[in-house]
Amino acid sequence: MTLSVAIAGASGYAGGEVLRLMAAHPELEVRTVTAHSNAGQPLIDVHPHLRSYADLELRETTAETLAGHDIVVLALPHGASGAIAAELPDDVLVLDCGADHRLTSEAAWQRFYGGEYHGAWAYGLPELIHVDGTRQREKLVGARRVAVPGCNVTAVSLGLVPGIRAGVIEAHDTTAALAVGPSGAGRTLRTDLLASELLGSAAPYAVGGVHRHIPEILQNVALAGAADASISFTPVLVPMARGILATVTARLAPGVDEAGLRAAWVDAYADEPFVHVLPAGRFPTTASAVGANTALIGLALDADAQRAVIVVALDNLVKGTAGAAVQSLNLALGLPETLGLPVNGVAP
């Protein structure tokens, strides 16, 4: 079986990473790539690292060019995928790497994004635990419309959910500060994303509860049973191309000790192929996750501060985007969940 794939928005970083991962997937063949301003160019001109696609050319992003494939991946700016998706047949697997179909609350959509609301699709974070103990992966089996999570959301949700569901931390009054690489912002011409600005600098943005990933985190936490969740969320751009290092803290539930705390995450991820809890006293670096579809988690109990500290490292373009898309695709189509996905990072 070889499944045919089209990628819309293939000239960006998310699209490029989907291409990189799919090149190593035994059941997939990317046949069509589209872009906006780069249409007509060889793909390799915009992604010179993707030698295996030396023969592909970028085409216009239209429903026609995307038609006739088993799988369509949308790697477009938010607001752009709703209309395109509506034109694609129901039996085509469509994965949206953008934000258009992540939020189940139209009110949250309107507050954080605005514009037409297109409804929520099956949410592509397989490891997410629901209050009843089931995993989100069950919702992905057989799905034909998948919303790939936001990269920061994946990091923070994987960090918070096991503890909340196990009752060892509170969902109320959590905090997350993230060191993030600029590739998460896309191949966008903005002054603050210039190398001269970011080299040698750490730069916060969307400070004070305004980042669009906040409602998505709270939505995930709510699925784990938290009614009163809240989070102070601050991303900080740092000079590394890729990677998210999320420092998440949460109030300890009364009476929790170190062993009880740790057990919540260890148990939750014991059978997960892509999420790993490090031994006590060890904490992950983003370098350990770069290029891999893994999320690495370190845990500590701060008795003085009465908070748990959960540090999560992942590659925003892999486990945070393109790897999540491929993992969800595997589940949707009944393929082995880990098929074609790298578990080893590229370090140093």
Q: SS3 for 265?
A: helix
Question: Which residue, chain included where needed, has tokens 């928005």?
Answer: 9
- To the query of whether residue 151 is one of the catalytic residues in this protein, the response is yes
* Sole binder of a second copy in the list 67, 236, 263, 266 (CB under 8 A): 236
Site for a second copy in 50-89 (CB under 8 A): 50-52
| Phi and psi torsions of 321, nearest 5° | -150, -80
- Judged by CB under 8 A, does residue 190 bind a second copy? yes
Q: Which of 301, 331 has the CB closer to a second copy?
A: 301
Please pick, among 151, 169, 217, 333, the residue that the annotation labels catalytic: 151
- Judged by CB under 8 A, does residue 302 bind a second copy? yes
Beta bridge partners of 307: 251, 302
Q: How many residues bind a second copy (CB under 8 A)?
A: 92
Shortest Å, Cβ 278 to a second copy: 8
Q: Which of 74, 179 has the CB closer to a second copy?
A: 179
Query: Cβ contacts of residue 185 below 8 Å, gap of 6+?
Result: 193, 237
Q: Which of 143, 171 has the CB closer to a second copy?
A: 171
Q: Which of 162, 181 has the CB closer to a second copy?
A: 181
> Which of 30, 134, 123 has its CA nearest to residue 325?
123
* Sole binder of a second copy in the list 16, 126, 149, 150 (CB under 8 A): 16
Cis peptide bond prior to 162, omega within 30° of 0: no
Cα angle: 2, vertex 34, 43; to 5 degrees:
85
Per-residue contact track with a second copy, 144 to 173, x per CB under 8 A? -----------------------------x
Q: Which of 239, 260 has the CB closer to a second copy?
A: 239
Other CB atoms closer than 10 Å to residue 89's CB: what's the count? 10
Burial class (CB in 10 A: 0-12, 13-18, 19+), 175: middle
- Judged by CB under 8 A, does residue 234 bind a second copy? yes
- Judged by CB under 8 A, does residue 232 bind a second copy? yes
**Sheet bearing 3-8, strands edge to edge:** 58-60, 28-35, 3-8, 71-74, 93-96, 145-147, 122-123
- Judged by CB under 8 A, does residue 287 bind a second copy? yes
Per-residue contact track with a second copy, 114 to 133, x per CB under 8 A? --------------------
Q: SS3 for 260?
A: helix
**105 vs 128: CA distance, rounded Å:** 18
* Sole binder of a second copy in the list 48, 89, 115, 142 (CB under 8 A): 48
> Which of 4, 11, 51 has its CA nearest to residue 32?
4
Site for a second copy in 238-267 (CB under 8 A): 238-243, 245, 247, 249, 251
Shortest Å, Cβ 88 to a second copy: 27
Q: SS3 for 67?
A: coil
- Judged by CB under 8 A, does residue 345 bind a second copy? yes
- Judged by CB under 8 A, does residue 193 bind a second copy? yes
* Sole binder of a second copy in the list 1, 55, 90, 200 (CB under 8 A): 200
Amino acid at 83: A
What does the radius of gyration of the chain's CA atoms come to, in whole angstroms? 19
Catalytic residue set: 151
